[in-house]
């Protein structure tokens, strides 16, 4: 018997659906960086990176400004 567990497929959306998801996350986070609080230069960040099997789900996304987003990727 094979002891390997199969992982659930990760959710990766098409471009239009992903844009809609990004807008929902920005609204949910009140158009503020969830790290420093600024309301300018906002981006949506995958908390669990796509490269590490993170999915395109609202639970995995957070609003960050450009500077905090860069910091999150260079920790």
Asked if residue 45 is part of any domain, the answer here is yes
Give a yes or no: residue 6 inside a domain. no
From CA 8, how far away is CA 20, in angstroms rounded?
Answer: 23
Domain contains 34 = yes
> Is residue 49 a part of any domain in this protein?
yes
| Rama region for 45: left / alpha / beta (φ>0; ψ in -120 to 50; rest) | beta
Q: What is the pLDDT of residue 62?
A: 97
Range of the domain at 61: 15-73
Model pLDDT, residue 14 = 86
- List per-residue pLDDT tens for the chain, 75 residues long: 444 545 555 567 788 999 999 999 999 999 999 999 999 999 999 998 887 778 889 999 999 999 999 999 897
What's the number of domains the chain is made of? 1
Q: Give the three-state DSSP class for 13.
A: coil
Question: What is the Cα–Cα distance from 31 to 40, expressed in whole angstroms?
Answer: 8
């Amino acid at each position: 018997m094979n002891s390997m567990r199969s992982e659930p497929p990760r959710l990766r959306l098409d471009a239009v659906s992903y844009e809609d998801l990004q807008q929902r996350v920005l609204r949910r986070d009140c158009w503020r960086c969830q790290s420093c609080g600024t309301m300018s230069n906002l981006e949506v960040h995958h908390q669990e990176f796509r490269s590490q099997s993170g999915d395109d789900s609202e639970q995995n996304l957070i609003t960050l400004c450009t500077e905090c987003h860069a910091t999150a990727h260079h920790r």
